[in-house]
Chain A
Amino acid sequence: MIDVKNLCKSFGDNKVLNNITETIDKGEKVVIIGPSGSGKSTFLRCLNLLETPTSGEIWFEGQMINKKGANVDELRRKMGMVFQHFNLFPHLTVMQNITLAPVTLKLQSKEEAGETALKLLRRIGLSDKADAYPSMISGGQKQRIAIVRALAMNPDVMLFDEPTSALDPEMVGEVLEVMKELAAEGMTMIVVTHEMGFAREVGTRVMFMDEGKILEQNEPHAFFSNPQHDRLKDFLSKVL
């Protein structure tokens, strides 16, 4: 589904991604962990071209997406993204946040989009917040709505960039719950997170990134119980 070939990304002299080659298949739940500054967020943001790769190729559903003339907007519809800081649109109601993209892109009529949005909101138990503005709801609610907003575009893959890092501890659970449900429904997911419990429970594959490289990866059980790389052992001993 996603093929990354020799991906490099530099900011000035700072080499953030160092020659990453990786394949992610449909239905996988890939969890990326690693110390801050390891390049994991940049890697994720390269996948939907929020960052432009310095070199290398990214293929999505059989198309190379980072070549000149590729329709980036088209591809992004199929890749939902959830951000650390939610990035809900503060000037729009919850309902308008969800329906903005499908309606603006003429994928659905306003009524259809509204129905879809309500259905999604009901699923996360927030249908009573449809007319609220983002400033009136909690962080956990914001992030669940941000997830639903991405889902309204009916994406083939969901990218999560530290979705719980900006939340109060008591709100982490409700967001992870939504993500678990999504995983159970078969969504392809790539998740950058510090939630080791989530990685272990939901991930089909866990990657450890450091200094712009994927140092080690494995299915979660072996990954956590039998780490090979010293750097990973060190990291796990600090976070677990």
Chain B
Amino acid sequence: MSIWEQIYSNLIAQDRWMLILRGLGTTLLIAFGAIIVGTLIGAVICLFRMSNIRVLRWIGTLYITVIRGVPVITQLMIFAFVIFASYSMPLNVVAIISFGVNSGAYVSEIFRAGIQGVDIGQTEAGRSLGLKKWQTMVKIVFPQAFKNILPTYTNEFIVLIKETSVAGYIAIQDLTKVGDMIRNATFNAWVPLITTAVIYLILTLGLARLFSLLERRLARSDRR
């Protein structure tokens, strides 16, 4: 078969491109859902870790230790086959929760590093003016932390998109899985796999570019 025939049979024939698009949609859905869940969990765990209350700090540390110490695939399968095994929860939702819980541990550390990267003098200046602790946080620390956080946070999102490629382990037809399914159907490996690889690359590079534009906008008040 010529290259064009191979491409045709793998991507066009039997509307296989539709399968790939659906896979892409699933990948994006899980990644976006997971980053939202992960950001919420990350924010809460970060607050726990910086809390004055010892028990909360302990819970936060435990969470991060456990989640970061177990492979994401193992976590995914535990969520699908143990925790939600007896519930008829849609697989995509299970994946969103699972990847979100996983990402939350990393996001919380990103947040914490960003907040602690803001000079303590900023907090002292705010407090010395009579602002309450939370007012100082909201008005002074967070806006500056946001800039510290953005590069690593966006990177976490890109990592997450790639990590969702293991969703096939719980029978989700994400981008990687559909590539593999086409490979099985056509006995051709390179066309479907290179195609999915290129799509991932476009996604991650596109997002990286988008985020770097955003960062430049935010650098307005920096030394010029």
Residues of A within 8 A of B (CB): 48, 50, 73-74, 76-77, 79-81, 83, 85, 87-92, 100-101, 104-105, 133, 135-136, 146, 149-150, 153
Does A87 contact B122, Cβ atoms closer than 8 Å? yes
**Complex Cα–Cα for A150 and B129 (A):** 7
Does A105 contact B131, Cβ atoms closer than 8 Å? yes
Does B224 contact A135, Cβ atoms closer than 8 Å? yes
Chain A residue at minimal CB-CB distance from B140: A89
Does B124 contact A90, Cβ atoms closer than 8 Å? no
**Complex Cα–Cα for A236 and B192 (A):** 82
A residues near B125, Cβ cutoff 8 Å = 81, 83, 87-89, 146
Does A73 contact B122, Cβ atoms closer than 8 Å? no
In the assembled complex, the CB of B135 is this many whole angstroms from the nearest CB of chain A, namely 6
B residues near A135, Cβ cutoff 8 Å = 221-224
Taking A104-B139, A135-B222, A135-B224 as contacts, is the C-beta distance between A89 and B131 under 8 angstroms?
no
Contact of B127 among A76, A104, A150 (CB under 8 A): A76
Interface residue B128 (Cβ < 8 Å from any Cβ of A)? yes
Instruction: Name the residue in B129, B144, B220 with the highest tally of chain A Cβ atoms < 10 Å from its Cβ.
Output: B129
In the assembled complex, the CB of B220 is this many whole angstroms from the nearest CB of chain A, namely 8
Interface residues on B, range: 20 to 34
Q: Which 10 A-B pairs have the closest CB atoms?
A: A77-B130, A87-B125, A101-B129, A81-B128, A87-B121, A133-B221, A76-B130, A135-B223, A91-B143, A73-B130
Contact of A77 among B129, B221, B223, B224 (CB under 8 A): B129
Contact of A48 among B128, B139, B223 (CB under 8 A): B128
In the assembled complex, the CB of B137 is this many whole angstroms from the nearest CB of chain A, namely 12
**Complex Cα–Cα for A92 and B139 (A):** 10
B residues near A104, Cβ cutoff 8 Å = 131, 135, 139
Chain B residue at minimal CB-CB distance from A101: B129
A selection of 21 A-B contacts at a CB cut-off of 8 Å is: A50-B127, A76-B130, A77-B129, A81-B125, A81-B128, A83-B121, A85-B121, A87-B124, A88-B125, A89-B125, A89-B126, A90-B222, A91-B143, A101-B126, A101-B129, A104-B135, A104-B139, A135-B221, A135-B223, A135-B224, A150-B129
Taking A50-B124, A104-B135 as contacts, is the C-beta distance between A74 and B130 under 8 angstroms?
yes
**Complex Cα–Cα for A153 and B125 (A):** 13
